[in-house]
Amino acid sequence: MELNCGPFTLEGYSRSTIETYLKVNELNICFDIGKCPMSLIHVPQIFISHFHGDHSLGLTYYIAHRNLAKLPPGQIYVPAAAEKAAHDLIRAQAALEQARRQYELIPVEPGMSVPFRRNMTMQMFATDHRVPSVGFQVMETRHKLKPEFMGLGQQEIIELKQKGVEIVSPQHLPRFAYVGDSTIMVFDWHPEIMQSEVLATECTFLTDEHYEEAEKRKHMHIRDIVPYLDHITSPHILLMHFSMRYTRAEIKHWVQHWIPAKHLERIHLLI
Ligand SMILES: [Zn+2]
Ligand SMILES: [Zn+2]
């Protein structure tokens, strides 16, 4: 499914236990890989939040097809605690196919920050789930004219530059946050993600009868998210990873039911 979220065009699918991936076209990256539809083979950078099968099963397929197509090895960012098992899995698949596979796993941990394209870094944050997991936040650095130089003409700016005066200062803008699977704790631990231009968060459970399951399975219930909406400044909030127990119509119904009307226009659904 394709979805416009502010300045970003997203391609993705997300249902709990079935498959989750979210491709950000403008950044040419994908969060999680699901079962790896063919459209993801050409994405050079993949960010895996955790290794539950619905988020990661397509990894060996991605690697095999990039090898077949003679593309450079994709850069696959994975939670450091899962790195060894991920290598073992990839090698086992290669052994079964009697093939040699080129690939690059990059272990990441909460608190790390890695540049991944010009002016963009990915910051990893801790999430609260049943297996090792991380969330990802895209930060963009823009260089802005310092206030004291605003209003100067082009010629004066050029002269200052030639004199070696530092006329710009860097600004770090939170563009996109991807939570992956987590309990609601992630917003207490990392309030900074609530300022991202786009905030993509799981919202697995929707009905009262499933409220306890959210905590038990380390997921979110929409009732947990509602009180945070007043603190989330993101103009675009993408809810995803709904349980298969709900039809598309039911998801729309419960979202309308729980989310206060004043927040509804910021809400996007990946269903
Ligand atoms: Zn999941
Ligand atoms: Zn999971």
Domain holding 118: CATH number?
Answer: 3.60.15.10
263, part of any domain: yes
Distance 48 CA to ligand 2 centre (A): 11
96, part of any domain: yes
As for how many domains the chain has, the answer is 1
Backbone angles phi, psi at 61, to 5 degrees: -65, -45
Ligand number nearest CA of 130 is 2
- With 0-12 / 13-18 / 19 or more C-beta atoms within 10 angstroms meaning exposed / middle / buried, residue 169 is exposed
Ligand number nearest CA of 133 is 2
User: Tokens 């997921």 identify what position?
Assistant: 219
- Ion ligand 2 contact residues with beta carbon within 5 A: 52, 181
165, part of any domain: no
229, part of any domain: yes
Give mean pLDDT, residues 120-124.
98
Distance 132 CA to ligand 1 centre (A): 13
Is the predicted pLDDT of residue 161 greater than 90, yes or no? no
User: How far is residue 72's CA from residue 11's CA, in Å, rounded to a whole number?
Assistant: 23
Any alpha helices (H) in 97-173, and if so which ranges? 154-162
256, part of any domain: yes
152, part of any domain: no
In Å, what is the CA distance from 98 to each residue of 62, 93, 102?
17, 9, 13
pLDDT tens, residue by residue, 190-246: 999 999 999 999 999 999 999 999 999 999 999 999 999 999 999 999 999 999 999
